[in-house]
Structure 1
Amino acid sequence: MIKKDKIPFIIIIIFYSLLFITSNVNWMSRDALWFSKVNSSPLAFAIKRYETWSSRFWIEGAVLVASKHLFIFFLITIISAFFLFYSVSKLISFNKFISNLVLVLFFIALFPIASLQSAGFIATIVNYIWPSALFGYWLIIDNQRKSETVASYKVIISTFCLILSVFNEGLAIMLFLYLIIRLVIEKKEFLNIYRMICLLVSFLSILNVLFCPGNQKRGISEMTHWFPTFDHLSFWDKLLIQLDNIASNLIVNHNLMGIFLLLLLARAVQKRQSLSIILSGLAIMLSKISESLISKPLDTIVKHSSGKEFNYNITSMLLAPSLIFIIILGLVVFIIILLYGKSSKSLIAITSLGTTFATGRSISLSPTLLASADRPLLFLYFVIIFNCVVLLDDMIEFNKNKDKIVVKKISE
């Protein structure tokens, strides 16, 4: 039986089901069309893809199954979506109906659904949403272990979910960064069998990404097709391109950064913190000023990157907007610390944003850093939206508490 406070998660499933039905989505477009024509068993196909194309072993087989059996795809996607939101709700301690309703409605309002279309809905959902739900379940159990005794079977199931999730290289990087953060926080308590198993999973997942024969062959093929001069770029140039790409998606294309900054400003006003208000306003102004500085140079690079004569001075084009974006990010971190101090909320906000941002940055090492569109940023989108929800929920709770104080004073 679903608890009352979790009912909003059913709302989001109904909403997206109706949205896709009324939008007449062509599920068999892009990658799914190619996968549906493959005449092979899922296991044999996954092995072949591992050898020739991708380290996402079971995910490749799952895309094949999903492309041929839409009912299975829809069923697993519904379950994954429910568990993803359930996991987030547990992790951010949303135990009230109104809090989870805000979570669902804000996600519906802010999440850029078009980001799931670049490789086709089926391929993108299987590659990102399914593993995210598995990773989220592991995070719940990992978080519960700190404060209560968790049944052994739950730990085993969550560890299996973790192993499956890190076949997505983005989540493999996130796990590695998460464990580093846990090591810093837990210190000697980190040294236990469970953590050693998690470290082993992380280590093997990174090795899988680095040494998978398919990844290496794909890199050569993708570079020839998408970015022939990629090897001639310096490491610095690659980082600048991806940094500007992230800035463009967060500030120009989807404006998630603008909304997050507005909520930080609103929270600062509510708490009457003058410095936070000033810094939030400064960050908002910088983001508006940087829009054209960010988008125009990146558009030029995207347009000409597939040409063999690409020889632009990337540093001169992207250094200024990248510096502005870094300043905005620094302001965000400082504002969060001012608003929440040295609390668990500020730690969770900063580390979640930092790890997903670093994961997005990691794609700069790949020749598909532009061809992948914003798919590698989906985890960052999730985290920004969830942090927006936390801010909004805090403001709602603040007003409720304020009203209680006013009523109490009147009654006295």
Structure 2
Amino acid sequence: MNIKKYKNYLFLLPFIFLFLILLNWHHSIGLSIDDLFFYTIPQETNIMSFVIERYDIWSSRILIEYILCHILQSPLILWWYLDSLIFTFIAVLTYKLINGENKLFYSTLSCILCLSFIFSSHYALGSAGFITTTINYTWPLFSGLLAIYILKNHAAKDTCKTKRILAYIISVLCLMFAVNNEQLAVILLGLFVLYYLLNYKTKINKKCYLIGITSVIGIINTVICPGIHKRYILELRWFPDYLQLNILNKLNIGFSHIINRCVTWCDLTTLILLGIIAICVYLLTKNKKQTIISLIPFIIASGFWILTLTDNLTLIQIMNANIVRYGYVPISIKRMILSLTIYAIFIIAFLYSLYSIYKNQKSVLWPIYSIMFVGFASTIMFGFTPSTPSMERMYIFFYYGNMLAILIFIKQIIEKRIKT
């Protein structure tokens, strides 16, 4: 028996365990909320007629909802297995994007961070029914990652023509499904624009234009969709004063909610990212003062997290009292001073940490900062829609971006510094 041969496949074990964990979790999930609505559609009308009508009165996600309706007509066990596989392959594709030398370490880390991503997104995933939300958000995420992986690894000039054509066809199909989610379309376009601006003086990878073009198509599809405009009018009933808001008010809504989320209701993945950033600062600078400053965001977020676990919510309630549907609105001088001081310390320390890392490791950080920036900017989009009930779901891509940033930080900085 060739033991060395089998050692080369050890990195697959974490993904197998991840799939089994996810499958066990999925067995406890049934139909709820919007799942029940889409489940009954074929009993009343043809699925194609339904999605066309939805395009006219409500949503531009015609591809996503077509697949959603068909999945809901199948036995529930099919979604259990498919969704478990898709989350597992999100971990696999993330691992492939990192491409670390220590395969077992990075496959294990990718699986652990994928679980933290699911844990962070758990409430959001169930907010409209798990089946509906995963097919609307995590399935397009998987499709986008798969397209990027295929373009990166199977569309090179040295690949045979047939395989190259097939790679492009699969990539286009995956991207079209991915950008049918309007938020993901904006994220992919944002990443393409940043990539172009940072590389236009050098050679631009032409395959990236495919991502940019499909993202524009996805955004155009959303803009021209008659249902989006009709839905906008209907959703104003949830937020009748929305029409009175100017662009600064909308930015206030988006910015204040995401900052408040990172400070007072920090998810597990973001908390890990804050800790990793502090470690990177220490490894790059070996400076205690800079390290202590970089630890401040992690300490603040951890402190509030501990308060939520102990049900000691007084300080959190004081902080949240200023965050309303209109964004940050000071309620009293004392509360305003307290909350703004905490936010300011958090933001300044966080930006200082990123600057310290950038100053010492410029060459490898643009992908990380681009991912973090676009993920953060995508959540600010919340301020540009009156759809307040769907707010939680808009953080799903932000959580994944933080997961990916953690892995790149570890590969590009922590691993290299430990070796040296």
Tell me whether the two structures share a fold, i.e. TM-score over 0.5. yes
Larger deviation: 83-92 or 318-327?
318-327
> Where does residue 365 of structure 1 map in the other structure?
384
2:368 paired with 1:356: no
Taking structure 1 as reference, are residues 71 and 364 closer, same or farther at Cα in structure 2, changes over 3 Å only?
same
Q: In the alignment, does 2:105 pair up with 1:98?
A: yes
Q: 5+ residue gaps in structure 2?
A: 1-5, 306-313
Provide the rounded CA distance (Å) in 2 between the counterparts of 1:192 and 1:389: 23
Deviations 1:288-336 (A, max 9, x none): 799988864655655xx5xxxxxx7945468937655643552343243
CA change 1:147–1:129 in 2 (3 A) is: same
Query: Using the alignment, how far apart are the partners of 2:327 and 2:114 within structure 1?
Result: 39
Kindly tell me: are residues 125 and 295 of structure 1, through their superposed partners in 2, closer, same or farther at Cα, counting changes over 3 Å? farther
Q: Which residue of 2 aligns with 1:281?
A: 295
Do structure 1's residue 159 and structure 2's residue 180 form an aligned pair? no
Matches within 5 A, 1:10-409: 10-21=16-27, 24-25=28-29, 27-38=30-41, 39-69=44-74, 70-95=76-101, 96-109=103-116, 111-112=119-120, 113-144=122-153, 149-150=158-159, 151-187=164-200, 194-224=207-237, 226-256=238-268, 257-271=270-284, 273-274=286-287, 276-284=290-298, 287=301, 296=318, 298=320, 302=324, 305=325, 314-316=328-330, 320=340, 326-338=347-359, 341-344=361-364, 346-368=365-387, 370-392=388-410, 397=415, 401=419
Take 2:138 and 2:363, find their aligned partners in 1: how far apart are those partners? 30
Identity of aligned residues (%): 24
| Structure 1 spans left out of the alignment, 5+ residues | 306-311, 403-412
Q: 2:297 is matched by which residue type in structure 1?
A: A
- Deviation of 1:229 (Å): 1.2
Measure, in 2, the Cα distance between the counterparts of 1:55 and 1:246.
26
Structure 2 equivalent of residue 308 of structure 1:
none
**TM-score of the two chains, using structure 2 as the length reference:** 0.80
Deviations 1:231-282 (A, max 9, x none): 1122212211222221233332234443322222233334552164143134
Q: Alpha carbons of 1:333 and 1:343: their partners in 2 closer, same or farther (altered >3 Å)? A: same
1:237/1:315 contact within 8 Å kept: no
Tell me if the contact between 2:280 and 2:357 (Cα under 8 Å) persists in the aligned partners. no
Structure 1 residue 31, shift from structure 2 partner: 0.6
* Mapped partners of 1:163, 1:394: distance in 2: 31
**What is the CA-CA distance between 1:382 and the residue it aligns to?**
1.0
Determine the structure 2 residue equivalent to 1:405. none
Measured after TM superposition, the shift of residue 347 of structure 1 is: 1.7
Letter in 1 for 2:113: F
Q: CA deviation at 1:108?
A: 1.9
Give the aligned partner of residue 408 of structure 1: none
Q: Secondary structure at the match of 1:181?
A: helix
Over the residues paired in the alignment, what is the CA RMSD in angstroms? 3.3
Instruction: Output the TM-score relative to the length of structure 1.
Output: 0.82
CA distance in 1, matches of 2:186, 2:412: 30
